[in-house]
Homo-oligomer: A and B are copies of this chain.
Amino acid sequence: MSALDNDQKRQPDILQDVARIFRANGFHGTTISVVSERTGLGKSSIYHHFGRGKSEMAQRSLDVVATFMEAMEATAGDTSVPTSARWEAVAKMLREYYENGQLGCLLAVFSLEDVPDELRARTKLLFDRWLAAMTLLCNPDQCDEADAQRFARHAVMMIQGGLVLSRAQSSGDAFEQALAEVASAVSDRS
């Protein structure tokens, strides 16, 4: 190990910090000076990593979400595993990503706030992707496509609602109940 990379912060870490700030404070609540404090970087140094400023920070944070959606899609669509086990794997990912309901959802805050059009558009697409991933948890023998889409919406709404309530109450109970309700909905269709 060289002495170099020991002290400095790596690029992915910076992005993770930024994404986390957006998730906790929203778009308008995230200021460059807060990013500067939390990352330990000077204000101007941030513009070295995110050349187009705040909008690039938001976009790259959505990239992180997109990666998570891909992983969730792969897990939900792994037909070598029974449906209920697939959901349990997805639930585990969700618990980790949302830190048991303590950490907010980037898609939710960007949806509820008034954000620039480019962000709003990508947020919508990522929600569609999430919905598509959730339909993979439906057994095609048990339910038709419309039913699968209803289930996907049910799951995403449940999780989002659980996150909102958990944040409001500073307790992960609601989030955990939401996951449990989705689990029973999964077992109803498999």
CB distance from A153 to the nearest CB of B (A): 6
Interface of A is mostly: helix
Q: Give per-residue flags for A1-42: 1 if the beta carbon is below 8 A from chain B beta carbons, else 0.
A: 000000000000000000000001111110000000000000
Most buried by B among A108, A109, A124, A164: A164
Complex Cα distance, B107 from A186, in Å, reads: 30
Q: Using A112-B26, A114-B26 as known contacts, say yes or no to A153 and B177 having CB atoms under 8 A apart.
A: yes
* 0/1 string, A142-163, CB within 8 A of B gives 1: 0000000010011011111110
- State the number of copies, please: 2
Known: A154-B181, A157-B174. A164 touches B112 (CB 8 A): yes
Please name the residue on chain B nearest to A25 by beta carbon.
B114
Contact (Cβ within 8 A) A157 B167: no
- Report chain B residues within 8 Å CB of A159: 161
Instruction: Report whether B153 and A157 are in contact in the complex, using a CB–CB cutoff of 8 Å.
Output: no
Question: 3 closest pairs, A vs B, by CB?
Answer: A157-B161, A161-B161, A28-B28
Q: Footprint of B on A, CB under 8 Å?
A: 24-29, 104, 107-109, 111-114, 123-124, 127-128, 150, 153-154, 156-162, 164-165, 167-170, 174, 177-178, 181
Q: Show 28 residue pairs from A and B whose CB-CB distance is below 8 angstroms, ordered by the A residue.
A: A26-B29, A26-B112, A26-B113, A26-B114, A27-B29, A28-B29, A107-B168, A108-B112, A111-B168, A112-B112, A113-B113, A124-B168, A124-B170, A127-B168, A150-B177, A153-B165, A153-B174, A153-B177, A154-B181, A156-B161, A157-B157, A157-B161, A157-B162, A157-B177, A158-B158, A160-B160, A160-B161, A160-B164
